[in-house]
A and B are shown apart, each in its own frame.
Chain A
Amino acid sequence: MEIFLQQIVNGLAIGSIYALVAIGYTMVYGVMKLINFAHGDLVALAAYVGLTVLMQAFGMHITNLWAIILMFVITALFISLCGVVLERLAYRPLRKAPRLSAVVSALGASLAIENGIMLIWGPNIKVFPSNVFPNMRWHISGVVINSTQIAILLLSVILMLALYIFINKTKIGTAIRATAIDQDAAKLMGINVNGIIIAIFALGSFLGSIGGLFIGIYYRELYFQMGWIYGLNAFIAAIIGGIGNIPGAMLGGMLLGIFNVLIAGYVSNSWSEALTFVLLIIILIIKPTGILGERVAEKV
């Protein structure tokens, strides 16, 4: 039993990172019907930028807490900006183009960011310091939980709740939902669609950057291709939950994290990745729109 609970704890930590990253995919897809393949690489970029900021901050003789806050704030702002620039450079010129062109552009942007990271920070791995969060461990009837896991889980849940409220209760949120349903009609209602698209790229990249920082803090090893593996998993999470649906991405991320650890723990570690795709296929067969995805009427 304690092994099972330990696996669930492991799964929730990685799952909340997937969820944060998945939201970026799902928001962009919801509004633009575009799969932003460069999102995973922005997540990797966030981890690198975060490490650089943290190192500078540690050198400035401020307390650790302030250094961490500085790292989160500067990285999140910078990556949000990157998301907006990405949209402006790689996607807006192709908005009226066939969807395939935009996907190719997304893959190109992904490679550009990945190799940009390699050119700036070098091809060797980088290591996050181990004392970002105070290193505490609790043993609760055989289950080990550490402070980083709790911080990741708490912060993710808070951020996701905030996003949910933002989307459902504010005026901009309403505008985002309207744009997602029908861009032309939204335009006729006086909504600035370009502004909304900028907002979703900024928001998605913001949450992704927090995910990237968590990866750095929790696993501590950064390498320039890491965006791909997290991007792929988060993308699967977004589809499982129902792409285009924000609570779906959160649920999908958590489910994927738990599914992964249970397969690795009880079936075979070697099979966990393959069976993830089997799960994806099964869900797509039973419910093509994903768990929380809504039935979309085909436009004629």
Chain B
Amino acid sequence: MKLKNLLWVVVSLVFVFVSSSAFAAGVIKIGVQAPITGSFANEGQGIDNAVKMLVAQQNAKGGLLGKKLEVVTCDDEGTAVGGAICARKLVNNGVVAVIGSYSSTPTESAEPIYARAGVLQTSDATADSLTKHGYWTFFRNSCPNSAEATFTADFLVKDKHFKRIVVLSDYSSYSTDLADATIAALKKIGGNVIYYGKIQAGSQNFTPILTKIKSMNPDVIYFCGYYTDGGLIRAQEVSLGIKAAFVGGDSNDNPEFFKLAGKASNGVYMINVPRPDILPYPLAKEFLKDYQARYHMMPPSIWTLFNADGLRAIMYAIEKTKTTDTKKLAAFLHNLKDFPGITGPITFTKDGERAGSRFMAYEIYNNNQYKVVYKED
């Protein structure tokens, strides 16, 4: 008799525990997968900050579907392995959607895991391949490399009339993708690429390859890796007395670039989507004001704002469809058209690509000041 009673107590206790954890879903969990540490730490922290701020604002308005939102952050260190580990952690944690990661490599390694688990993923990463796999869970909140590639080719050939073009990338999937797309776009409009080289990110000593490039007498060196290498490449280019212009792809556009390149920053061309503070949209101004009030600094870059837009689109979808069923959310997002965003109207195509965004070319003067020198039409 006693034993039976005990058994009942145990069974009911177990039931209480199980049900409390299952129905503690009085919250909707939003995941952040971002490089909180590592070379892109400030970008990762920016994404995390932005998501936490928007979620806090939404919770202040009463959350979504009567539930509070909760942020779960995972540090992928910007690596492929880290991305896969984070994806499993976040899926096990029961998140509805994941914001991030910042760069393409960890985003790509996490994609299939989210797709299998049916967790929505929105990232600013720009490798074309990300939307080519056909995962219904993936939504790009920025624009792909191919859009930047076309713009870059036009700038180099049609606007600047460079005759001898050198392209440099690192080995990351983002960078090689962008380099390949740019070379293809250049060839299409008759650009003359005399050399395509790859550098080892973080190796710091770029003088051997630059000396080799010097002997080819290029007009321009186009580098589409990250600012941690780009700033050094520019500094070493100038100190080797190479006269070629330097054009940096979007990931060079970071204040650290100017610190690394020092005086050599002057005359550098940067190609990027508009900087946060020159976005014309009222939502952008409001976002920046809130961000500064909360964190006492500006977001590290435009990429923070893209990811914020990804989150806003997902929150909007939950609100409109009144569900957290990701199949329905994805269907809603795939048909989303001109939802007002921080970085301009948000429209997703059927393959999760964000339609219609604009690049600009800037010239750097006074070591860190920007001047728009070229934009399309």
Q: Is A89 located at the chain interface by the 8 A CB criterion?
A: no
Residue of A nearest to B43 (CB): A124
Please list 22 pairs of residues, one from A and one from B, whose beta carbons are closer than 8 Å in the complex, sorted by A's number.
A3-B211, A6-B211, A7-B212, A10-B211, A14-B207, A123-B38, A123-B41, A124-B256, A130-B262, A130-B263, A137-B239, A137-B241, A144-B240, A146-B239, A220-B232, A220-B260, A226-B204, A229-B202, A260-B208, A269-B198, A270-B197, A272-B208
Q: Is A29 located at the chain interface by the 8 A CB criterion?
A: no
Q: How large is the interface on A (under 10, 10 to 19, 20 to 34, 35 or more residues)?
A: 35 or more
Q: Which residues of B contact A220 (CB under 8 A)?
A: 232, 235, 260
Chain A proximity of B262: nearest CB distance (Å): 4
Instruction: Tell me the complex Cα distance, A262–B212, Å.
Output: 10
CB–CB B208/A265 < 8 A: yes
Q: Which residues of B contact A123 (CB under 8 A)?
A: 36-39, 41
CB–CB A264/B232 < 8 A: no
B residues contacting A by CB (< 8 A) are 36-39, 41-42, 197-200, 202-205, 207-209, 211-212, 214-215, 228, 231-232, 235, 239-241, 256, 259-260, 262-263
Instruction: Tell me the complex Cα distance, A144–B208, Å.
Output: 13
CB–CB A6/B240 < 8 A: yes
State which residues 134-176 of A face B: CB under 8 Å: 137, 139, 144, 146
Which of the residues B38, B199, B263 comes within 8 Å of A269, measured between beta carbons?
B199
Which of the residues B205, B240, B262 comes within 8 Å of A219, measured between beta carbons?
B205
CB–CB B197/A269 < 8 A: yes
Chain B proximity of A121: nearest CB distance (Å): 12
CB–CB B241/A144 < 8 A: yes
Instruction: Tell me the complex Cα distance, A225–B77, Å.
Output: 12
CB–CB A226/B208 < 8 A: no
A residues contacting B by CB (< 8 A) are 3, 6-7, 10-11, 14, 118, 122-125, 127, 130, 137, 139, 144, 146, 215, 219-221, 223, 225-226, 229, 260-262, 264-266, 269-270, 272-273
Which of the residues A118, A219, A269, A273 comes within 8 Å of B209, measured between beta carbons?
A269
Q: Which residues of B contact A219 (CB under 8 A)?
A: 204-205, 232
Instruction: Tell me the complex Cα distance, A87–B232, Å.
Output: 35
Instruction: Tell me the complex Cα distance, A239–B262, Å.
Output: 37
Q: Which residues of B contact A273 (CB under 8 A)?
A: 200
Q: Which residues of A contact B263 (CB under 8 A)?
A: 130
Instruction: Tell me the complex Cα distance, A109–B211, Å.
Output: 38
Chain B proximity of A12: nearest CB distance (Å): 11
CB–CB B208/A223 < 8 A: no
Q: Which residues of A contact B42 (CB under 8 A)?
A: 124
Query: Given A130-B263, A269-B198, A125 and B239 touching (CB < 8 A)?
Result: no
Q: Which residues of B contact A215 (CB under 8 A)?
A: 204
Instruction: Tell me the complex Cα distance, A131–B202, Å.
Output: 22
CB–CB B203/A229 < 8 A: yes
Q: Which residues of B contact A264 (CB under 8 A)?
A: 208-209, 212
Q: Which residues of A contact B232 (CB under 8 A)?
A: 219-221
Query: Given A127-B256, A220-B235, A221-B228, A3 and B39 touching (CB < 8 A)?
Result: no
